[in-house]
Amino acid sequence: MLLVNTIRDHFETVLEGLQKRNFPHAEAALHQVLELDKNRKETQVERDRLQAESNSTSKEIGALLREGKKEEAEKIKSRTTEIKEQIKLLEDTYSNYEEDLKQLLYTLPNVPHYSVPSGKSADDNEIVFEHGEIPELFEGKLPHWELIKKYDIIDFDLGVKIAGAGFPVYKGRGARLQRALINFFLDEAIKAGFIEIQPPILVNEDSGYGTGQLPDKEGQMYEATADKLYLIPTGEVPITNLYRDVILNEVELPIMNVGHTPCFRREAGSWGAHVRGLNRLHQFDKVEIVQVVHPDKSYEVLEEMSQYVQGLLQKLELPYRVLRLCGGDMGFTSALTYDMEVYSAGQDRWLEVSSVSNFETYQANRLKLRFRGEDKKPQLAHTLNGSALALPRIVAAILENNQIEDGINMPKVLIPYLGFDMI
């Protein structure tokens, strides 16, 4: 979440940032933050003063008792009872201010980077790069939801039987294609210097708050209510939370982690046109890269991560474009996000397959993720993450773009992983 100090010291910047996101009543909210913080501090000063008085009185009583002066001790005991009541009141007031402040801060999204375009929706995103040719397919080309039936590689009906809509069953070469992609993505990441992590895919509430899924996206996650756990919507959650409440040494930076996890999303209310087949699922696999870096490096690293993801798409020979998300379309916790979209020629659409974001200190503040620099003082690190990559839409694009009349060619880089070159 945002730091109160940032809001105070850079009020205009923060305000403009929130406005760029079309955040309603931004100015009032920010003023309220400062007001609550001021009240909080004033209450704390008074509370601490009384507490100090109470503490020293208690020490006096202890000293008197040790000297055997019971009566004198009894006498000053009465003094503390009164103070205690006041402290209790101030304590309540203090925690109210603190809680209100926290709740309010939870509602404030991150301040966008200056380069983020303003805009309301996905239509206002800025295309910053395009690569590859959109394939000209033969007459009678099929979208992937037809192809998977034709070649019997992914079965949605079976998934419905086992779980429900949006839980596909991958079969035969479909399953093998998926596994090949996972291995390819992980191997590429390891080559690029990432450390592989296999995290839990159920996480506790603290983790949800740490990366910002809670309270903002409550309802998007599946919940194991009996145990108060959430199924992860992305590997970002467990992997970034590995560093919750951690003070790193500056020399340990950058932290580069990669992990393959299934992801679970309820997607409540987001079904409609354009979500057929693999385009939107309740369960899918994703390889996620996460970095924890020095604040001076985070934008450089964001570019590197973007380049890295693009490299994967190039190796898979998929035409893609890179978008800089506008203020209105960016995730709640992000300061700058690039989306990578591949062109899927069977349905003639761009599909988002990766989202690479710099969160600056927004997550780190919630996570209490810090590092100790030269001056020995802990300071908040910057966190970044990106999909590298999300599986189903990549599968969709591979199937659609590489289809021929009687089969589907596999990308060259995958053949060693697959053990076959065609479906």
Partner RNA sequence: AGAGAGGUGUCCGAGUGGUUGAAGGAGCACGCCUGGAAAGUGUGUAUACUCGUGAGGGUAUCGAGGGUUCGAAUCCCUUCCUCUCUGCCA
Binding-site members for ATP are 265-267, 352-355
Q: How far is CA 59 from the centre of its chain?
A: 49
Cβ 104 vs Cβ 36: under 8 Å:
yes
Q: Supply the minimum distance, in Å, between the C-beta of residue 272 and RNA.
A: 39
How buried is residue 351: exposed, middle or buried, by Cβ count under 10 Å (0-12/13-18/19+)? buried
Distances, alpha carbon 51 to alpha carbons 55, 73, 335, in Å: 6, 19, 41
- Report 9-38 residues binding RNA (CB under 7 A): 37
Q: Which of 13, 52, 103, 421 binds RNA (CB under 7 A)?
A: 52
Residue 51 binds RNA (CB under 7 A): yes
Residue 89 binds RNA (CB under 7 A): no
Q: Which of 77, 179, 217, 294 binds RNA (CB under 7 A)?
A: 77
**Closest alpha carbon to 116 in 23, 22, 24, 17:** 17
Q: Which of 22, 39, 44, 118 binds RNA (CB under 7 A)?
A: 44
Question: Could you give the CA distance from residue 71 to residue 2 in angstroms, rounded to a whole number?
Answer: 53
Q: Quick one: 171 or 294, whose CB is closer to RNA?
A: 294
Q: Supply the minimum distance, in Å, between the C-beta of residue 277 and RNA.
A: 33
Q: Supply the minimum distance, in Å, between the C-beta of residue 113 and RNA.
A: 24
Residue 41 binds RNA (CB under 7 A): yes
Q: Supply the minimum distance, in Å, between the C-beta of residue 85 and RNA.
A: 11
DSSP letter assigned to residue 412: G
Residue 281 binds RNA (CB under 7 A): no
Residue 84 binds RNA (CB under 7 A): yes
Q: Supply the minimum distance, in Å, between the C-beta of residue 257 and RNA.
A: 22
Cβ 344 vs Cβ 401: under 8 Å:
yes
Q: Quick one: 331 or 373, whose CB is closer to RNA?
A: 373
Question: Could you give the CA distance from residue 96 to residue 368 in angstroms, rounded to a whole number?
Answer: 22
Q: Supply the minimum distance, in Å, between the C-beta of residue 48 and RNA.
A: 4
How buried is residue 355: exposed, middle or buried, by Cβ count under 10 Å (0-12/13-18/19+)? buried
Q: Supply the minimum distance, in Å, between the C-beta of residue 36 and RNA.
A: 11
Q: Which of 9, 13, 25, 62 binds RNA (CB under 7 A)?
A: 62
Residue 75 binds RNA (CB under 7 A): no
Residue 81 binds RNA (CB under 7 A): yes
**Closest alpha carbon to 35 in 7, 69, 60, 62:** 7
**Closest alpha carbon to 381 in 399, 359, 398, 397:** 359
Gap between the terminal Cα atoms of the chain: 47
Q: Quick one: 228 or 274, whose CB is closer to RNA?
A: 228
Residue 134 binds RNA (CB under 7 A): no
Cβ 285 vs Cβ 275: under 8 Å:
no
User: Which residues bind to RNA, rule: CB under 7 A?
Assistant: 37, 41, 44-45, 47-49, 51-52, 54-59, 61-62, 65, 77, 80-81, 84, 247, 370, 372, 376-378
